[in-house]
Chains A and B, each alone.
Chain A
Amino acid sequence: MRTTVLCTAIVLLGSVAWAAPEQLVPAGGFVPTKLPFTYILDYNDGDYFSGSYERHHVEGPPGLLHMGTVTPAHSYFGPAHDSAAAQGKRAFPPIGTFVQQYRDRLAEAQRLNDQLRQQGVGQVVAYVCLMTTGGDPDKRTGFWHFYDNWEAFTPLGAGPKPADDPVLWQQRKPDGSEHHFYTKEHYLPMFFRYSNCVNNPNWQQYMKWVIRGAAEARFDGVFVDNAGSERCYCKCCQAGFEQHLRSRYTAAELEELFGDDLSLSTDGKGLRSAETRIFWGESIHRFLDMIRDEGTRLRGHFTVFPNGLQGHPLDVEGMFRDADLGMAENSVGTYGTNPGRTRSHVIAGIYVSHTNDNIFAHQISAACGAPCRCAMLTRPGYPKADTAWRMNEPTAELGIAEAAAFSGGGCFLHDAPRSYPDLAPARTKYNAFFAAHKSWYEGYWPGGSVGALTMLSQTLTGDRRHVAAAQSLLETLLAAQVPADPVVERELLTDLSRYPVLIVPPVLNLPDAWVKKLSDYARAGGRLIISQADTTASLDHLGRPRDPAAAAAFRKLGTPLPDDPLELLGPQGPLAGTALTDPARAEALRTAVYVDNPTKPRRVTLHLVNYDVMLGVKGGQIGARQDMPIRLHVPGNRRVRKLTLASPGGADQTIAFKQAGSSVSFTLPRLDIYAICLLELEG
C-alpha cells in the first residue's frame, strides 16, 4: 500500500499575493430571479428498475424528480457491491457479473429517464454523496471489492486504477487519524463507513466517473448529500490551506494577521479559523464545480444540488453559490415543519395560533443573487414522523407558493407519490401556473420597502447574534405587513438605491467596503436605521478594531434602531405608513416585492401568501381573505399603467387602482393561498 498522496489537484491562484479580500465571502454578479418549479424526492431504490416505476409520475409530474442511488456506479459502495457477499453469506459473484450489471443499469436508467421526460417530468437528478464510501479494507468488501477489481471497469470509463488504497483517501484529524462523519460503524454489520477528502485526487477521479455514468444514463444532474462534510487536515488540505492564504493576503498581511502560522486552525477561534472554514468550503465549491463540469461535457447543462443549507444560510453565497439548488432540511418543530397553521386551546378559553414558515431560508437565496436557490424539505415531525401532522394538499400547495414567492426560483419538496398521491393536483395546478406566467417570475430583484443588512459571514467570525437579530427583525416587519428583504454580502457591488430604507442590526464585523457603501447610500438620500450598540461596526471583517470615532461616526449616519422593531412602525417611527395592509386583519399574510430593474424598474411584482392553511390530517381548511385593501410603494415615483392579478387555478384579472405619489392603492378581491400582482409602470 502506498502512502504517497498526490495533492496537485488543488487549483488555486498559486502563490500570488493579493491585498486582503474586501470581505470574507465573494461578491458577484447578481443573478435575478428564476422560474420556480415543483419537486418530488422519491428514494425508492427497489422500484426504479421494476419496469413500471414511471407510472407514479403520470399525474402531477414534477419539474424536478430527485431519485436515490441510481447511478450506474453506486456512489457509496462502488459498482461491485453485493450485500450478502459482504456479510459472508455467500461468495462474491464473478466480477464480470458486476460489469454486466453496470451496463444493464445504464441502459435501464436511459430508458427510464427518457420515459419520465415524455410524461412531463422536467429534470431528473440522482443521488451521490460528497464524501462517503462504505466497505471493509481488511475483508476487501464494498468499495474495496471494487477497488481490487478496478481494471475490470476501466473499459467502462473508470480510468486507471489509483495507486493509493482508498484508506488513504480519507479525511484526517489533526493527529492524522481517520475522520469519520456519522460513525465508522454506521453500516455495520455489513461494513464500515468512510469519509473521503474532496481534495484527494483519487476520490475526485472516482466521483468524476460516477458523474460521467450519471450523465451517460441521461440524468440531468445529481443531488450531492452531506455536502458540508469536509473537516480534513490531510497533507493535501494542509498544503492547500497555505496556498489559499497566500492567494488572499500579502506577505505583510499574513505576518500581521497570522504570524508565522499558516496551518489549518484547530481551535475554532479568530481569523485563521474563519479562513480554515472558508478553505474547506472553497474545496467543496471546487468539487461541486468539478461535478458540474464533468456532467456538462455530456449533457450540456448539468444540475448540481447539494444538501446542507439548514442552519447554514451562508453557504448560499459561499460554497454552494454556483450550484443550482441547495437543500434546507427543516426537520424539527412542535407541529412538524410543514408550512401552515394550527390553532389550539391554551387555557381559560383562550386559543393561540402557531404558524410554520420557511421564509427566511427562501429569502436568503433570492437576496444572494447567486445561481443557487433553496429547495425546502419539511417534515411531519423528526426523527419520528407524527402522522397527525402529515402533509395535506393545501399545505403542499402552500409550500410551493412559499418557495415561488420568496426564493426567487426555488422549490418545495413533495414526498413520493406512492405515499402521497393526494398531492399531485397541487403540482398540476402550479406547473400550469408557472408555465403561463414565466415573465412574472424571471429576471427580478428583491425590491421590498426595507432592506435589512444580513451579514451571513458573521457566523465565521464568531458573531452569531447578528444573523439571528436580522432574521427576527425581518420576521417582525413581514408580520407587520412591511415587505422587507435581507441584504447580504454578495450585494456589495450592486445598487441598493431601490430600498428607501436600509436597517443595520447589531453587527460586530463590518468590512470597510460596507461602511463606505452604506455611508454613500445615506449621503445619496437613502434612509439608514442603525443599531447604536457600541459593538456595531467596531471591528472590520478581519477582526481588526476600527477606530472608535470612525465606528461612532458611522452609527451616527443612521436613525437609532430600537430593541423592539415595532417602534419603527409607530406614528412617529421612520417606517410609519409603510405597511401594505392592516396587520390585525391579515395576520397570516406574508408578502414579497420584486422589481425587474434595480435602478429603473418597469415592472413590479407583489407576491401574497396566505399561511392561514390548517396543518395536519384533520386540517386543510383555508382561511381565504376577501376584499383586502392593499397599499404598495412603487419605487422611483413612477406611474402605474396597469395592475394585473393572477392566482393558481384562476383567470388573470385587471384590477382597478389609485395612485398618489409613489403609493398605489387597490383592493384584493380574494386570496386563497397565493396570488401575484403585476404592476406595469409607465415610461
Chain B
Amino acid sequence: MQAATLLLLFRHLHFFVIVSDLPQPPRLHLETKQYYTYTDPLRLTAFSQQGDRLLSTAIPVGSSLDRLLPEPVAPLYLVQADPGMNGAVFQCDRPWAVLGSANHRMGVNGLGPELFFYVPLDCTGFTLGAQSVSPNEGGRLVITRPDGEQAAVLDGELDREEETKVTVPTACRDAIWSLKWDKPQTSKAGLDDLNFWLDGNLTPLLFPQREWAEKHGKLLWERDRAARAEQ
C-alpha cells in the first residue's frame, strides 16, 4: 500500500482506475466507516478495461475488504465502490486514481491527500466546481500549477454549487497539476462533507501520488480522448 499520510475518505458512489504492470493482480484494501445510524454496506464491483464485471461483493459497514482482483491480470481496471451514506477509504498496491468529473463528483469527508492530475497540451482552461450543502460546513479548494503558483481557489460555505474558471498558461500544459482541500478561511464553517469536480478538456482522474500522475495521466487522457471521439 502507498504510504500516504492522509487517506481518501469518500461517501457515495465513486470510480477508481487502477493501472497495473505487474504479473500479479492488484490487491484492494477498503475500510468502511459508519456515519450516524446509516446501515448501507459497501458495494464493490470491479470491471476489466473491456467493461466485463470481474467481481461483485458487498461488505457490512464496520468491516473491511482485502482481496486480490481475480485472474487474468489486466493492465487496467475500473473499480466502482459505493458505501452509500456511509464512508470508505480506498487503497491499492498499484497506481490508482479516482474520478472527479462533473458527472461523477468527488464526495469526500474531512481532510484528504493532495491529488494530482494531468492537464493536456491542448487544454487552455478548465473549471473547478465545489459544493458543501450542509449548514455550517464549507471548504477551501486550491488548484496549484506545475510551477507552484496558485491557479484557483474556491473558499467559503459553498452551500450552492460554485465554479471557477482556471486558465492554463502555455507553459503549464502537458504537465501535472494538483488539488488540495482544507477548511474554509473566509468562513467559520467547518470541513465535513465536501463535493468537488473538474470539468473541461481534460480527464479528471485524480492520483494521490504525483509520480503516478506523471507516469499514467497522459496515457489515460489519450485513451479517454480516443474513446470520446468514438462516441
Chain A interface (Cβ within 8 Å of chain B)? 343, 345-353, 464-465, 467-469, 471-473, 475-476, 479-480, 505-506, 563-567, 584, 587
Contacts and interface: CB of A to CB of B under 8 A. Distances in A.
A564 B65 contact: yes
Contact of A476 (B40, B56, B63): B56
Given A464-B39, A465-B39, A347 B17 contact: yes
Contact of B57 (A345, A468, A566): A566
B53 A468 contact: no
Counting chain B CB atoms within 10 Å of each CB, the highest count among A348, A505, A564, A566 belongs to A348
B205 A566 contact: no
Interface string B50-72: 01111111111111111100000
**Interface class of chain A by DSSP:** mixed
A566 B65 CA distance: 10
Interface of B: 15, 17, 37, 39-41, 43, 45, 47, 49, 51-67, 76, 78, 80, 99, 101, 104, 203, 205, 220, 223-224, 226-228, 231
A584 B72 CA distance: 12
Contacts of B66: 564
A350 B17 contact: yes
7 contacts: A347-B224, A349-B224, A350-B49, A352-B51, A472-B58, A475-B43, A506-B62
A111 B57 CA distance: 54
A506 B15 contact: no
Nearest to B104: A346
**Chain A CB within 10 A, most for which of B57, B59, B66, B76:** B57
Contact of A346 (B41, B99, B226): B99
Contacts, number: 102
Nearest to B70: A584
A350 B76 contact: yes
B222 to A, nearest CB: 9
A353 B54 CA distance: 12
A566 B55 contact: yes
Interface centre among A464, A465, A473, A584, by most B CB within 10 Å? A465
Given A468-B39, A472-B58, 13 more contacts: A346-B78, A347-B101, A348-B205, A348-B220, A350-B17, A352-B45, A353-B53, A464-B39, A468-B60, A469-B39, A471-B41, A475-B43, A563-B65
A563 B80 contact: no
A472 B44 CA distance: 11
Contact of B51 (A350, A465, A564): A350
A565 B227 contact: no
A183 B12 CA distance: 31
Contacts of A471: 41
A643 B51 CA distance: 35
A468 B37 CA distance: 12
B62 to A, nearest CB: 7
Contact of A467 (B39, B61, B101, B223): B39
Contacts of B226: 349
Nearest to B228: A345
Contacts of A351: 47, 51
B41 A469 contact: yes
